[in-house]
Amino acid sequence: MKALVVYESMYGNTHHVAEAIAEGLRPSLDASVSAVADVTSDSLADVDLLVVGGPTHVHGMSRASTRHAAAEAASKKGADLELEPDAEGGGLREWFDAVGSLPSLGAAFDTRIDSPPLVTGRASKGISKRLRHHGCRVLLEPESFLVSKENHLLDDEAARARAWGERLAVASPSRSGDDMMQGRSGRLST
């Protein structure tokens, strides 16, 4: 079974979490990681499990305006932030609007400030909703990984992301027997 972890990242935290999730998937699945800017419908053709994550901006998925604000914050004198190479490009919202068919299985994660979700919001909720809208069966509840107020991943979050990847691999159905009869769409073949 092949898995792809797709991420949007501004300062590298979500990218780091995506890599850790893939590490957790790899003992059981053929897992790779890709920035959202590099993922096309064609590159999803042989993917069975799509794991999608992004940073939480203003209670949800990023927008062009919030990505611009994050880039400005990183450029301020004395800022201890470095932008990811694709940070100022399109984000997950735009990708979901443009992408065609998605794999039948999915999962969603986000990064957010270490505060209650009522205060910060959770991008993973919107990501999960978009996955379901595109026909994905979401295997686990959306997960948040926490960053400090200075936008640095908290100490144990990479290990927690690896463990979540392991749980996700266990939740993934095998691609043998009855599952193979269902094919990519999740419907029985006739």
Q: Which segments in the chain show pLDDT lower than 50?
A: 175-190
Tens-place pLDDT, residues 126-150: 999 999 999 999 999 999 999 999 9
Q: For the chain, what percent of residues have pLDDT higher than 70?
A: 91
Structure token digits, residue 179: 């599952």
pLDDT, the chain, mean: 90
Question: How many angstroms separate the CA atoms of 44 and 60, rounded?
Answer: 25
Please give the domain boundaries of the chain with CATH numbers for all domains.
2-182 (3.40.50.360)
Structure token digits, residue 3: 């898995």
Q: 3-state DSSP call for residue 33? A: strand
Residue found by looking up tokens 């590490």 in the block: 23
Predicted pLDDT of residue 179: 40
Predicted pLDDT of residue 89: 85
- CB neighbour list of residue 129: distance below 8 Å, 6 or more residues apart: none
Predicted pLDDT of residue 137: 97
